Copies of this chain bind each other. A is one copy, B any other.
Amino acid sequence: MRRLLLVTVVGLVFLNAYRVDAQGIDTERIVAMERAALDRWGKGDPQGYLEIMAPEVTYFDPDLEARLDGLPAMRALLVPLTGKIKIARYEMLKPSVQQHGNVALLTFNLLCYQNGDDGKERLVARWNSTEVYARLDGRWRIIHSHWSYIKPDVKQPAVGES
A111-139 with Cβ < 8 A to chain B: 113, 116, 118, 120-126, 128, 130, 132, 134
Query: So how many copies of this chain end up in the complex?
Result: 2
Is A62 a contact partner of B130 (Cβ separation < 8 A)? Answer: no
A109 touches B67 (CB 8 A): yes
* Residues of chain B within 8 A of A98, CB atoms compared: 56, 58, 134, 143-144
Check A107 against B144 for contact (C-beta < 8 Å): yes
The yes or no answer to A90 lying at the interface (CB within 8 A) is no
Contact of A126 among B69, B123, B150, B156 (CB under 8 A): B156
- How many residues of chain A are within 8 Å of chain B by beta carbon? 53
Pick from B66, B96, B109, B148: contact of A62, CB below 8 A. B148
Chain A contacts to B: CB under 8 angstroms = 56, 58, 60, 62-67, 69, 93-94, 96, 98, 100-103, 105, 107-109, 113, 116, 118, 120-126, 128, 130, 132, 134, 143-144, 146, 148-157, 159-162
